[in-house]
Amino acid sequence: MEKRCKHITESQENIKRSVTLCDSDDLKHRMYKVPPSEPGEGRFPCPVTRNMRHLLDEFKGLYEERLRRLEIQTGGGSHEEILRMKVRILNSYVNDLSDQNQVLIQTVEDLEKEANGKVAFLEAKIHSSDQIIDDLGYRNRCLEGNTESLHSEILDMKLDISTLSRLAQQAQHTHKLDVSGVSLRTIPLEQIAELSVYSKRM
Last residue in a domain, options 139, 163, 182 = 139
Q: What is the pLDDT of residues 151-165, one digit of tens each?
A: 999 999 999 899 888
> What is the average per-residue pLDDT within 176-195?
75
Does 37 score more than 50 pLDDT? no
Give the pLDDT confidence score for residue 179 in this predicted structure.
74
Residues 36, 85: one domain? yes
Residues 100, 170: one domain? no
Residues 51, 133: one domain? yes
User: Any idea what DSSP says for residue 42?
Assistant: S
Are the C-beta atoms of residues 46 and 27 closer than 8 Å to each other? Answer: yes
Count of domains observed in the chain:
2
Last residue in a domain, options 139, 160, 189 = 139
**37 dihedral zone (left: phi>0; alpha: psi -120 to 50; beta):** beta
Q: What CA–CA distance (Å, rounded) separates 197 from 26?
A: 88
Last residue in a domain, options 124, 139, 154 = 139
> What is the average per-residue pLDDT within 91-107?
86
Residues 133, 159: one domain? no
Q: CA dist 17 to 48, 61, 90, 94, 157, Å?
A: 9, 22, 26, 22, 78
Residues 55, 112: one domain? yes
What's the whole-model pTM score? Answer: 0.45
Residues 6 or more apart from 104 whose CB is under 8 A from it?
A: 15, 19
Residues 162, 179: one domain? yes
Q: CA dist 137 to 101, 131, 132, 150, 179, Å?
A: 52, 10, 8, 20, 46
Give the pLDDT confidence score for residue 198 in this predicted structure.
43
Nearest to 167 by CA among 188, 147, 185, 184: 184
Residues 80, 159: one domain? no
Does 26 score more than 60 pLDDT? no
* Domain extent at residue 192: 146-201
Residues 52, 6: one domain? yes
